[in-house]
C-alpha cells in the first residue's frame, strides 16, 4: 500500500480484470485493515461515521415515511434491476432494498423511470454497498471520486495506461469491490490484447486507472480534498466534466460480469465480450454516456445452467426473459447499436445524472458531518439511532455470517462459491432427482448411480444450507399492515417487510388489538409478520417478541392451533437465544399438554425441569395443576384454576368444560346421595355465579329436585350423566 | 487336537467368515459374490454389518471402490456393498463422521429396498434387511447424541421413513407362500420402528403398525425374540393409553418368555410391568425387586400397603429421576389412589361403622402427610374411589358422611374388583360364562392362599406402628369429642374395648386380601 501511495502514476492495476494472485488477497486485507496514514483525508476513518449517517438518514426517512403514509411505497420499482445479471437475481433486490431505505419513490413513476432509474439505483447501490461493506465500498467510492479529480487534467486515457504498463508491478492493489472474491484470474493485459483485435480495446481492457489513482489520492489529497472530493463526486457524474477514467457504473458493470464467472470458461467468454463492449463504447465515445447499469450481462456458460434454473422460479423468470432477447445479442448487439439509441441513452443519462448528483449532494455532506467533529455535533440524532444502528449492524453481521447472498455490496467470494456450487447442483440435479425419488433408485443403472452417489451426498448438505440461506432475503416492502398469504413461491423482496418496518407493524397490531380486540385482524397481521421474519431468517429478541405476542393473543382467544405453532417456535427460539418470559411460556406449554392430554410430552418436560425452574410462580402452579389433574383431584384442580397466574387461566379455559363434566359425572352425581345443592356445584366447579352454573347444568339435562333448581337430584341425573 | 475338532465343527461358510477380518477388499468382494450366488442371506448379512468383524479391517476402508465392486458384483447387491463400504469408511475416520455414515447407511437401506424388490418370491435376503435397518437406527441414534440440539429427532424421523420403505415392500409381498414371504420380516421392522417412535415420543404412529401385525395370520410363528420385543412395546403403549389389562397381558408375556440370561431386558420389562401390576392390585415381592435391582418399587409398595401418603411422596421424591427417565412417573403417580384406598380402609376397620364421618378421613389424610388438604378435596378423593368402585357406598353431603355397603365388603379387594368388572358387570357375557369364570377365579384364589400366608408376615410389623399411631390419634380426637358429646362417648368406649379385636380383624383381613399378595411372575 505504502508504495502505491507514493506516486500518482505508478499504481496501475487493472481493477476490472483484477489481477488476483495470492498476493492480491493478502494485499487487500492489508489495504483495508490499515487505513492510509493521516494527515490525509482518512477514508477509512471516515467511513464508519459516514455510514452511520447514511443509516441514520435512512432510518429517519423511514420513520418519516411510516409516519406520513405507510402504504405509499409499496410499489416495487426495483425490478428493472433484475435484468442486470441473472445470477444476481437474488442478490440485487436485496441490495437495492437496503439502499432504498428512506428513498421514497412513487411507484407510479416506474414506467417513466424505466430508463432513468438505473442511475439512481446505481447511486443508491453505492450508498448501500457502503452501508453494508463499509470499508471496501467506501474506499472505492472515494477512490473513484478522487480518481476523477486527478485525471481531470489528463484527458488522455492512454497516458494513464502507459504509465501503468511501464511501471513495475507494484504490490497489487486489490480492486476494491472484489477484494474478497478471488476473481477469475484474467490473462494479463498483454495476453488479453493478443486475442482482441485493436489496441484501443487492449488499453481499455487493461486496468482502468481509476482505482490505482485512488491510492494516490488518498495520500496526496489532504483535508482540502475532503471538500473537493465531494465536489468531484457530484461533478464527476455530470457529463460536462469528462473524466477519462471509466465511470463508476462501468466499473460496477465489469465487476458484475466477472462476479458472474464461475469457471475458467466463463472467464474467457466474459473477457472477450467485455473487450468488445468496452472497445466499442470507447470508439463511439460512449464510455460515459452509456447506461452501464442497464447493460446486459454477457451470457456465459454457467448462465445457461442458471437459465434452466430460472425457469423453475416463476417470479424471477419473467424478468429474466424480458432481457433475454437483449442479452443474447452480446457482442453483436454493440456493433448494431444505432446512433438513435445512443442519443436516447445520453439524454436519459443527463437527467438521471442530475438526479444522481442530487442524491449525492444529500449524502456526501452527511458523510462529512460524519467525520469526527461533526459526529459529536450530531450526537443527538446519532445517539437516538445508535440503538437501532447497533441492531442493524448485528443483523448485517448475521447475514454476512450466514452468507445470505449479497446483503448489499458486491457479491463476495463466499457468494460466488455458493453460486457456483449452486450451478453445479443444477447440473447434477437431474441425476440427483432420480435418487431422491427413493424408489426410483432401481431404475438407474448402477454405473450412473455410482457416479452420482457421492455427489448426491455432498449436494444434499449443500442443498440444505444453501436453500435455507437463499431464502433469507431482505424485504423492501414499506407497508405497515399486510395480510397473511401462504407463500406458494419464492418470496418477492418487494412484498416482504424488513425488520425496521415490522417493529412498527407489531406495535400497530398491538395497539389495534388493545383498541378493538379484533382477533381476525390481529391474527392475520401477526401471521404475516411472522412470515416476513421467517422469510428473512430473522431470529432474535424481536422474533421472540412477535411470537410471544401472538401466543398471548391466541391464548386469550382460545386459538390453540396458532398457539401451538407459536409455542413450538418459541421453544426453539428460547433454546437459541433465550428470553425473559421463557418460564412463563414453559408453564403455558405444560398446561397446553394437559389440554391435549399429552402425558408423554409432559414427562419429557418434567425431565428437563430444574429445581429453580420449579420454583417459578407459573411453573409451580402448572405442575400443581397437572398433578391434581392426573389424580382426578377435581377440587384442587378447580381451586388452582381460580388462582391462575398470568394467562394460565385462559388456557385452562380451553378444557375447563371437559374437566367440569368429568367432575360432575365422576364426583358429584355418581357419589352424592340422595341429592346435592347447586350452590355446592357452583363453588366446587369454579363457576362465577349460580346462574351460569344452573344454565350449564340444565344444558346437561341434570334433574333438579324442585323448580327453584337449588338442589340436584343425583340419582335421576345418573341417566343424563351416562350420555356424557 | 481340540483345536482341530473345534475347527472341523465349524461349518465351511463360517471359516470363510472367520477369516474376514484379515481379508483385503478383493477377497471380501469375492466372498460376498459367493454368498450372493448361493443365496446365503445370514452369512451375507454378517458381511454387511457395521459392527461385524470385517468392519475394523482397514483394507476395506476405501472411499471410492466402485470400479472394484462393479467388477465383482452385479446389481442390485453391488449398490448395497458400495454404500456399506462407504459407511464403514466414514465411521472409521478420525473422528468418526457419523453424519455422513448415517447418510450412506440410509442409501444402503434404500439399496436393500431395491434388492428386496428385485428378488421376488424369496425371502432369504431378509437377514440383510434386518442388519442394515438395525445399523441405520443405531447410527441415527448416534447422530442424535452427537449433533447439535436443533436437529434432534430429525435423524430418527428420517430413519423411520427409511424403515417404512422396507416395511412397505414386506407388506406388499402377500401372494407368496407363507414360507417364502417377505412378510416374515415385518415384525423385525415394526420393532425397529417402535424403538424409533418411542424415542421421539410419537406413539400415535405405532397404531397402524400394530394393526398390520395383528392382521397377519401367522403372527404366532415369528421368532420368540421378536415377539417378546413386540409385546414389550405394545404393552408399554397400552400402559400409556391407560389400557392396563392389555398392558399387563403383553408385558407379562414378554417378562415370562424373556430368557433369564437377558437380565437387562428382563429388568426393563419389569420396570413397566410392576407399576401396571400395582395399579391392578398386585404388589411386588421384595426378593424379585432386589433380584432385578429395582428396590424403588418395593419401597413404593410398602408405602401403598400402609396407606402412608407421606412415605409414598418421599419415595416418589427420592426416585423421581428414575421414574421420569423411564417414563413411568405419570403411571406411578396414579398409585396414590391405591394408597388413599388402603388408608380409608384402615379408617373403616378401626371405626367399624357403616356411616363414616368424612371428618375422620380428613384427619387421617392430614395425619399421613396431606397437610394442606381441604374438606372438599377429601370429598373428592372419596368420591373418586367410589366412582372407580374401590369403595362401595355413597356420600351424604348434608350429613358429611360416607355411607358404605353393609351387605358386601365396602372395600372390595382390588383383585376381586377386577374380576367383578371383567365378569359380573360385563353384560355381553352369558350367565353360564359368568359362572364358569367365577368358579375359575375362586379355585385360583384357593391355590394361591398358601403362598399368601408366607408373605403377610413382613407386613404386620410395618403396619403396626402406623396403625397404632393412627389409633392413638383417634383416641385423642375422641376424647375431645367426648367432652362435647356424651352420647358419642358411650359409643367410643365401646370402640375402645374392641380395639384389640379390631387390630386382629384387620390383620386377618390383610392376610386374606390379595392386595397384600405378591404377584408371582418369575
Give the pLDDT band (50/70/90) at residue A693.
confident
Burial (CB count <10 Å: 0-12, 13-18, 19+), residue A343: exposed
Give the pLDDT confidence score for residue B230 in this predicted structure: 92
pLDDT for A83 equals 38
Query: Residue B261: is it exposed, middle or buried by C-beta count within 10 angstroms (0-12/13-18/19+)?
Result: exposed
Write out pLDDT tens, residues A379-437.
444 444 444 444 444 444 444 444 433 333 444 455 566 666 666 555 544 444 434 44
Rounded average pLDDT per 10-residue block, chain B, 522 residues: 54 53 74 82 81 74 75 78 84 81 87 84 84 89 75 79 88 79 86 89 86 84 89 91 87 89 88 88 83 86 86 88 86 87 86 84 84 84 84 83 81 66 61 72 58 37 53 64 53 47 47 38 32
Q: How far is B113 from chain A (nearest CA, A)?
A: 8
User: What are the backbone angles phi and psi of residue A87, rounded to the nearest 5°?
Assistant: -80, -10
Closest-approach residue (CA) in chain A for B118: A442
- Supply the DSSP string of B161-196, one letter for each residue: HHHHHHHHHHHH--SS-TTT-GGGGHHHHHHHHHHH
Closest CA to A45 of A223, A228, A277: A223
Q: What is the pLDDT, as a whole number, of residue A309?
A: 57
Residue A413 is predicted with a pLDDT of 52
Q: How far apart are CA A301 and CA A303, in angstroms?
A: 5
| Residues of chain B contacting A451 with CB distance shorter than 8 Å | 66
Q: At what angle do helices A157-166 and A209-220 cross, to 10 degrees?
A: 80
- Higher model confidence: residue A494 or residue A244? A494
| Chain A residues inside the 8 Å CB shell of B150 | 572, 575-576
CB atoms within 10 A of CB A508: 16
CB contact (8 A) between residue A635 and residue B337:
no
Task: Check if B78 contacts A (Cβ < 8 Å).
Answer: yes
Q: Name the nearest CA neighbour of B314 among B278, B306, B347.
A: B306
Task: Quote the mean pLDDT of chain A.
Answer: 58
pLDDT of residue B229: 92
Q: Are A289 and A349 in contact (CB under 8 A)?
A: yes
Q: Which of residues 585-624 of A touch B (CB under 8 A)?
A: 599-604, 606-607
Q: Residues 187-206, chain B: which have Cβ within 8 Å of A?
A: 201, 203
Q: Burial, A719: exposed, middle or buried (Cβ in 10 Å; 0-12, 13-18, 19+)?
A: exposed
Give the span between the Cα atoms of B137 and B191, in whole angstroms.
Answer: 11
Q: With beta carbons less than 8 A apart as the criterion, state whether A681 and A697 touch.
A: yes
CB contact A710 to B (< 8 Å): no
The CA-based dihedral angle spanning residues B219, B220, B226, B227, taken in that order and rounded to the nearest 10 degrees: 100
Give the best residue of A671, A673, A717 to mutate against chain B (max B CB count within 10 A): A671
Cα angle for residues A654, A659, A665 (degrees, 5° grid) = 150
Tell me which chain B residues have a C-beta less than 8 angstroms from the C-beta of A635: 374, 376-377, 379-380
Question: Which of A402, A443, A450 is most worth mutating to test chain B (most B CB atoms within 10 A of its CB)?
Answer: A450
The answer to whether A444 faces chain B, any CB pair under 8 Å, is no
DSSP state of A298: P
A236-253 average pLDDT score: 57
DSSP H or E run through A676 = strand A675-677
**pLDDT by residue (tens digit) across A63-94?**
554 454 434 443 333 333 333 333 333 333 32
DSSP B421: I
* Element (DSSP H or E) covering residue B65: none
Nearest in space to B134 (alpha carbons), one of B109, B110, B107: B109
* DSSP 8-state symbol, B420: I
pLDDT score, position B96: 79
Nearest-Cα residue of chain A relative to residue B162: A438
Alpha-carbon distance A673 to nearest alpha carbon in chain B (angstroms): 5
Q: Using the beta-carbon criterion (under 8 Å), do A635 and B324 form an inter-chain contact?
A: no
Under 8 Å between Cβ of B397 and A680: yes
The whole-number pLDDT of residue A259 equals 72
Confidence of residue A510 (pLDDT cuts 50, 70, 90): confident
Of residues A245, A234, A254, A93, the one with CA closest to residue A161: A245
Distance from CA of A447 to the nearest CA of B (A): 8
pLDDT at B233 (0 to 100): 93
CB-based contact A593:A654 (threshold 8 Å): no
Residues A631-652, buried b or exposed e (16+ Cβ, 10 A)? bbbbbbbbbbbeebebbbbbbb
Q: Comparing A309 with A605, which gets the higher pLDDT?
A: A605
Tell me if B376 and A684 make a contact (CB, 8 A cut-off): yes
B402 φ, ψ to 5°? Answer: -95, 125
Specify the pTM.
0.56
- Report yes or no: A7 at the B interface, CB cutoff 8 Å: no
Asked if residue A483 has pLDDT above 80, the reply is no
For A649-680, what is each residue's pLDDT tens digit?
A: 888 888 888 888 888 887 788 888 777 888 88
Give the minimum alpha-carbon distance from A407 to chain B in angstroms, rounded to a whole number: 26
**Polymer length in residues for chain A:** 724
Amino acid at each position: 500500500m505504502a508504495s502505491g501511495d507514493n506516486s500518482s502514476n505508478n499504481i496501475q492495476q487493472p481493477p476490472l480484470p483484477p489481477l488476483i494472485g495470492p498476493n492480491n488477497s493478502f494485499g487487500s486485507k492489508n489495504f483495508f485493515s490499515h487505513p492510509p496514514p493521516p494527515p490525509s483525508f482518512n477514508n477509512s476513518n471516515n467511513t464508519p461515521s459516514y455510514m452511520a449517517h447514511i443509516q441514520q438518514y435512512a432510518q429517519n426517512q423511514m420513520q418519516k415515511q411510516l409516519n406520513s403514509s405507510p402504504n405509499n411505497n409499496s410499489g416495487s420499482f426495483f425490478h428493472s434491476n433484475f435484468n442486470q445479471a441473472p445470477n444476481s437475481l437474488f442478490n440485487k433486490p436485496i441490495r437495492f432494498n437496503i439502499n432504498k431505505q428512506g428513498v421514497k419513490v412513487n411507484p407510479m413513476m416506474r414506467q417513466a423511470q424505466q430508463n432513468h432509474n438505473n442511475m439512481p439505483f446505481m447511486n443508491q447501490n453505492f450508498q448501500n454497498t457502503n452501508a453494508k461493506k463499509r470499508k471496501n465500498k467506501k474506499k472505492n467510492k472515494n477512490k473513484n471520486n478522487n480518481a476523477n479529480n486527478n485525471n481531470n487534467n489528463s484527458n488522455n486515457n492512454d497516458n494513464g495506461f502507459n504509465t501503468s504498463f511501464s511501471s513495475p508491478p507494484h504490490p497489487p492493489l486489490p480492486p476494491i469491490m472484489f477484494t474478497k472474491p478471488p476473481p477469475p484470474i484474467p490473462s494479463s493485459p498483454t495476453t488479453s490484447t493478443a486475442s482482441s483485435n485493436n489496441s484501443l480495446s487492449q488499453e481499455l481492457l487493461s486496468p482502468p486507472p481509476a482505482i490505482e489513482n485512488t491510492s494516490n489520492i488518498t495520500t496526496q489529497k489532504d483535508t482540502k480534498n475532503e471538500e473537493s472530493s465531494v465536489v468531484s463526486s457530484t461533478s464527476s457524474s455530470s457529463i460536462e466534466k469528462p473524466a477519462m477514467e471509466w465511470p463508476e457504473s462501468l466499473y460496477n458493470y465489469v465487476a458484475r460480469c466477472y462476479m458472474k464467472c464461475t469457471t475458467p470458461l466463463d472467464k474467457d467468454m466474459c473477457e472477450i465480450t467485455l473487450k468488445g463492449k468496452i472497445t466499442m463504447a470507447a470508439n463511439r465515445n460512449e464510455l460515459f454516456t452509456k447506461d452501464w447499469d442497464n447493460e446486459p450481462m454477457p451470457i456465459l456458460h454457467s448462465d445457461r445452467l442458471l437459465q434452466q434454473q430460472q425457469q423453475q422460479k416463476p417470479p424471477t423468470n419473467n424478468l429474466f426473459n424480458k432481457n433475454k432477447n437483449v442479452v443474447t445479442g452480446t457482442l453483436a448487439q454493440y456493433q448494431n447499436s444505432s446512433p438513435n439509441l445512443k442519443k436516447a441513452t445520453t439524454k436519459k443519462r443527463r437527467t438521471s445524472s442530475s438526479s444522481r448528483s442530487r442524491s449525492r449532494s444529500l449524502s456526501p455532506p452527511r458523510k462529512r458531518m460524519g467525520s469526527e467533529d461533526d459526529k459529536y455535533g450530531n450526537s443527538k440524532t446519532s445517539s437516538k439511532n445508535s440503538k437501532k444502528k447497533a441492531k442493524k449492524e448485528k443483523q448485517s453481521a448475521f447475514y454476512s455470517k450466514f452468507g445470505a447472498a449479497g446483503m448489499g455490496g458486491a457479491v463476495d467470494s463466499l457468494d460466488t462459491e455458493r453460486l457456483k456450487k449452486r450451478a453445479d447442483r443444477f447440473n447434477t440435479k437431474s441425476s440427483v432427482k432420480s435418487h431422491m425419488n427413493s424408489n426410483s433408485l432401481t431404475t438407474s443403472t448402477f454405473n450412473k448411480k455410482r457416479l452420482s452417489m457421492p455427489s448426491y451426498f455432498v449436494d444434499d448438505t449443500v442443498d440444505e444450507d444453501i436453500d435455507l440461506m437463499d431464502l433469507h432475503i431482505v424485504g423492501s416492502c414499506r407497508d405497515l399492515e399486510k395480510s397473511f398469504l401462504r407463500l406458494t413461491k419464492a418470496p418477492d423482496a418487494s412484498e416482504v417487510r424488513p425488520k425496521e418496518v415490522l417493529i412498527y407493524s407489531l406495535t400497530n397490531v398491538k395497539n389495534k388489538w388493545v383498541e378493538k380486540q379484533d382477533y381476525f385482524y390481529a391474527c392475520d397481521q401477526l401471521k404475516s409478520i411472522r412470515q416476513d421474519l421467517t422469510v428473512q431468517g430473522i431470529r432474535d429478541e424481536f422474533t421472540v417478541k412477535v411470537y410471544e405476542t401472538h401466543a398471548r393473543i391466541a391464548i386469550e382467544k382460545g386459538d390453540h392451533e396458532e398457539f401451538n405453532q407459536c409455542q413450538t417456535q418459541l421453544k426453539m427460539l428460547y433454546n437459541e437465544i433465550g428470553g425473559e418470559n421463557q418460564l412463563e411460556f414453559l408453564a403455558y406449554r405444560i398446561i397446553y399438554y394437559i389440554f391435549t392430554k399429552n402425558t408423554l410430552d409432559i414427562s419429557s418436560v418434567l425431565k428437563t425441569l430444574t429445581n429453580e425452574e420449579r420454583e417459578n410462580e407459573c411453573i409451580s402452579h402448572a405442575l400443581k395443576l397437572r398433578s391434581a389433574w392426573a389424580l382426578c383431584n377435581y377440587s384442587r384442580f378447580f381451586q388452582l384454576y381460580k388462582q391462575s397466574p398470568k394467562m394460565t387461566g385462559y388456557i385452562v379455559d380451553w378444557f375447563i368444560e371437559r374437566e367440569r363434566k368429568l367432575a360432575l359425572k365422576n364426583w358429584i352425581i355418581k357419589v352424592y346421595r340422595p341429592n346435592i345443592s347447586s350452590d355446592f356445584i357452583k363453588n366446587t366447579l369454579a363457576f362465577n355465579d349460580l346462574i351460569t352454573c344452573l344454565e350449564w347444568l340444565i344444558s346437561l339435562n341434570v334433574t333438579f329436585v324442585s323448580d327453584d333448581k337449588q338442589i340436584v337430584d343425583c340419582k335421576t341425573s345418573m341417566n343424563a350423566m351416562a350420555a356424557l | 487336537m481340540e483345536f482341530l475338532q473345534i475347527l472341523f465343527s465349524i461349518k465351511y461358510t463360517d471359516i470363510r467368515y472367520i477369516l474376514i477380518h484379515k481379508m483385503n477388499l478383493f477377497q471380501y468382494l469375492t466372498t460376498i459374490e459367493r454368498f450372493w450366488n448361493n443365496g446365503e442371506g445370514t452369512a451375507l448379512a454378517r458381511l454387511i454389518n457395521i459392527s461385524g468383524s470385517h468392519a475394523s479391517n482397514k483394507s476395506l476402508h476405501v472411499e471410492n471402490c466402485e470400479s472394484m465392486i462393479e467388477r465383482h458384483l452385479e446389481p442390485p447387491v453391488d449398490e448395497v456393498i458400495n454404500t456399506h463400504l462407504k459407511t464403514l469408511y466414514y465411521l472409521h475416520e478420525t473422528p468418526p463422521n457419523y453424519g455422513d455414515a448415517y447418510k450412506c447407511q440410509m442409501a444402503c437401506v434404500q439399496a436393500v429396498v431395491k434388492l428386496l424388490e428385485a428378488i421376488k418370491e424369496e425371502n432369504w435376503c431378509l437377514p440383510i434387511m434386518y442388519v442394515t435397518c438395525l445399523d441405520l437406527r443405531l447410527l441415527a441414534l448416534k447422530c442424535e447424541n452427537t449433533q447439535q440440539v436443533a436437529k434432534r429427532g430429525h435423524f430418527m424421523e428420517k430413519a423411520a421413513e427409511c424403515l417404512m420403505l422396507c416395511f412397505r415392500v414386506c407388506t406388499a409381498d402377500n401372494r407368496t407362500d407363507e414360507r417364502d414371504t417377505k412378510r416374515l420380516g415385518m415384525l423385525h421392522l415394526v420393532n425397529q420402528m417402535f424403538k424409533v417412535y418411542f424415542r421421539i415420543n410419537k406413539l400415535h404412529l405405532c397404531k397402524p403398525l400394530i394393526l398390520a401385525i395383528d392382521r397377519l395370520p401367522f403372527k404366532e410363528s415369528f421368532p420368540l425374540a421378536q415377539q417378546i420385543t413386540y409385546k414389550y412395546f405394545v404393552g408399554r403403549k397400552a400402559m400409556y393409553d391407560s389400557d392396563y389389562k392389555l398392558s399387563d397381558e403383553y408385558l407379562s408375556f414378554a417378562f415370562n418368555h424373556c430368557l433369564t440370561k437377558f437380565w437387562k431386558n428382563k429388568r426393563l420389562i419389569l420396570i413397566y410391568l410392576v407399576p401396571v401390576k400395582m395399579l391392578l392390585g398386585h404388589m411386588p415381592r421384595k426378593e424379585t425387586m432386589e433380584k432385578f435391582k429395582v428396590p424403588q418399587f418395593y419401597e413404593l409398595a410398602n408405602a401403598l400397603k400402609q396407606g402412608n401418603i407421606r412415605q409414598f411422596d418421599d419415595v416418589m421424591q427420592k426416585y423421581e429421576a428414575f421414574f421420569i427417565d423411564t417414563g413411568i412417573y405419570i403411571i406411578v403417580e396414579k398409585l396414590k389412589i391405591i394408597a388413599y384406598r388402603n388408608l380409608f380402609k384402615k379408617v373403616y376397620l378401626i371405626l367399624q361403622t357403616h356411616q363414616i364421618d368424612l371428618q375422620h378421613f380428613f384427619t387421617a389424610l392430614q395425619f399421613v402427610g396431606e397437610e394442606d388438604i381441604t374438606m372438599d378435596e377429601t370429598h373428592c378423593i372419596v368420591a373418586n374411589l367410589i366412582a372407580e368402585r374401590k369403595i362401595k357406598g355413597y356420600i351424604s353431603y348434608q350429613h358429611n358422611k360416607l355411607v358404605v355397603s353393609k351387605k358386601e365388603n365396602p372395600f372390595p379387594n382390588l383383585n376381586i374388583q377386577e374380576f367383578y368388572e371383567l365378569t359380573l358387570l360385563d353384560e355381553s357375557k352369558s350367565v353360564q360364562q359368568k359362572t364358569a369364570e367365577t368358579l375359575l377365579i375362586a379355585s385360583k384364589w384357593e391355590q394361591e392362599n398358601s403362598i399368601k400366608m408366607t408373605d403377610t408376615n413382613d407386613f404386620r410389623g410395618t403396619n403396626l406402628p402406623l396403625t397404632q399411631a393412627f389409633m392413638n390419634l383417634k383416641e385423642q380426637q375422641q376424647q375431645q369429642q367426648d367432652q362435647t358429646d356424651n352420647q358419642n362417648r358411650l359409643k367410643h368406649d365401646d370402640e375402645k374395648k374392641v380395639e384389640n379385636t379390631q387390630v386382629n380383624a384387620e390383620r386377618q383381613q390383610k392376610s386374606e386380601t390379595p392386595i397384600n399378595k405378591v404377584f408371582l411372575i418369575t
